[in-house]
Structure 1
Amino acid sequence: MSLHRRPLRVLVLPAATALAALAGCAPGSPTARIDPPPTPPAAVAELCRALHEELPETVAGLERTRTEPQSSLTAAWGGSAIVLRCGVPKPPEMLDPDQEGVHVNDVAWLLDKRSDGGFRFVTGMRTAYTEVLVDKEHATDAGMLVGLSAAIAETVPEGISSY
């Protein structure tokens, strides 16, 4: 995975298959319907619980949203505008040496442009994979990853996840 520091707005990537994590929720809704990832190993779930406690209350100016079902593996901001799932399995794109990425606050992110104009970011080189889905409106630059990266850097150690 090639990790470059450059603004997100200049990266154009082929559309990748994004996980269908959202259903029946519009950006700005008071509740976001997010399917938690399949049950991760206990050590990964523990890291995700620690991350959940450190996540910021606002991301890209959007307030944190209640999720259904409630889970320490999920979080959302602005309804479904920005959605986080911790403990996801290793994405197959991680095996592609030409896959693009960015570094934000010492956290490496694989990124995929989605067919709807939004982005899917997945942490790399951490002992638990965290996925962030961002709608088209809020995917204008990687600045929205700053607070999320700080929380991840504090709670999820560097390394390679075996999950």
Structure 2
Amino acid sequence: MNSFRHRHRFVPGLSALALLITAAGCSSADDGTTTAVPSPDAEVTKLCRNLDTVLPAKVDGETRGDPEPASALTAGWGSPAIILRCGVARPPKMADPEVADGHDPDALPGGVNGVDWLMEKQDDGAFRFTTANREAYVEVYVPRGQDTTGVLVDLAAGIKKAIPEGIAS
């Protein structure tokens, strides 16, 4: 797993739903967020570049402020940062029968507005979501205290438009 830095601030009153993500590399955008940039093949890179052009300017009310290093494969919103990484490897839990059967409480399958996700609760209370049944894996990290439903709703249209349904290689 890639090394990363985390800086979290708890924001009272925001719900952290069980639709989730662990980012490989994120911290607050205002504090110099750094994020590991994926290195997918050319076909997936093209899909991810298309996704970058249709991502919303705001996610869950947070303004876009991309992490460093600058890349069309990563995006960020708010502080602490919601981080999107396109072209990541398939998460090991995606093939885990315990997850598919809903028996792993920290990793659950689910869908929001036509996009299927693997939702993984992180030890620090954050969530990592990874798209399923798409030609590229898109990972979204939602810090502890953020409303995960709003994040996934806001990202769904762009993902559906840029990343076709199918099986990622």
Shifted more, 58-67 versus 48-57: the winner is: 58-67
Q: Which residue of 2 aligns with 1:50?
A: 50
Between the aligned partners of 2:59 and 2:138, the Cα distance in structure 1 is: 16
Aligned in 2, Cα 1:80/1:72: closer, same or farther, shift over 3 Å? farther
> Is 1:112–2:113 an aligned residue pair?
no
Q: CA RMSD in A?
A: 2.3
Identity %: 44
CA distance in 2, matches of 1:66, 1:81: 9
Q: Mapping of 1:7-86 within 5 angstroms?
A: 9=17, 11=18, 18-22=22-26, 25-26=27-28, 29=30, 31-37=32-38, 39-86=39-86
- Residue 126 of structure 2 aligns to which amino acid in structure 1? G
CA distance in 2, matches of 1:134, 1:141: 7
Matched, 1:160 2:164: no
CA distance in 2, matches of 1:12, 1:57: 22
- In structure 2, C-alpha distance between the alignment counterparts of 1:127 and 1:80, rounded to whole Å: 29
Match status 1:102 vs 2:115 = no
CA shift digits 1:134-159 (9 cap, x unpaired): 00121x34222112111000010000
Contact 1:84 1:133 in 2 (8 A): yes
The alpha-carbon deviation at position 12 of structure 1 amounts to: 9.3
SS, match of residue 32 in structure 1? coil
Compare the two structures and name the one with the higher strand fraction: 1
Shift, 1:66, TM fit? 3.0
Cα deviation digits, residues 12-63 of structure 1 (max 9, x gap): 99xx9x45322xx42x5175311101x2010000000000010001011100
TM-score with structure 1 setting the length: 0.81
- The unaligned stretches of length 5 or more in structure 2 are 1-14, 100-107
How big is the shift at 1:122? Answer: 0.2
TM-score, normalised relative to structure 2: 0.79
Deviation at 1:105, TM superposition (A): 1.4
Moved over 6 A (4+): none
Match of 1:130 in 2: 138
For the 8 Å contact 1:118–1:134, the answer to whether it is kept is yes
